[in-house]
């Protein structure tokens, strides 16, 4: 299956948009809640607090990662 394309939002599902069309750069894996990551736009570090996705639909705009800044 193709990697998921994520819409990344800060703080909540309707929070500010951080990035569209983010693809996690680890083959055969997707980000998980609690994980820290840097986005391909150069921002971060972020901690994933929520992951919502449409099963078996890797390019849905409803695949959302909610993140918070890591200090």
Q: What is the pLDDT of residues 4-23, one digit of tens each?
A: 999 999 999 999 999 999 99
Cα(17)–Cα(6) distance, integer angstroms = 11
- The answer to whether 11 and 66 are in contact (CB under 8 A) is yes
- The answer to whether 5 and 59 are in contact (CB under 8 A) is yes
DSSP designation for 42: S
Asked whether the whole model's pTM tops 0.85, one would answer yes
Over the stretch 48-68, which tens digit does the pLDDT of each residue have?
999 999 999 999 999 999 999
pLDDT of residue 1: 65
């Amino acid at each position: 299956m193709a990697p998921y394309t994520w819409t990344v939002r800060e703080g909540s599902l309707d929070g500010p948009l951080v990035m569209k069309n983010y693809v996690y750069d680890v083959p055969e894996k997707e980000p998980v809640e609690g994980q820290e990551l840097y986005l391909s736009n150069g921002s971060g570090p972020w901690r994933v607090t929520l992951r919502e996705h449409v099963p078996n639909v890797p390019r849905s705009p409803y695949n959302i990662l909610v993140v918070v800044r890591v200090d």
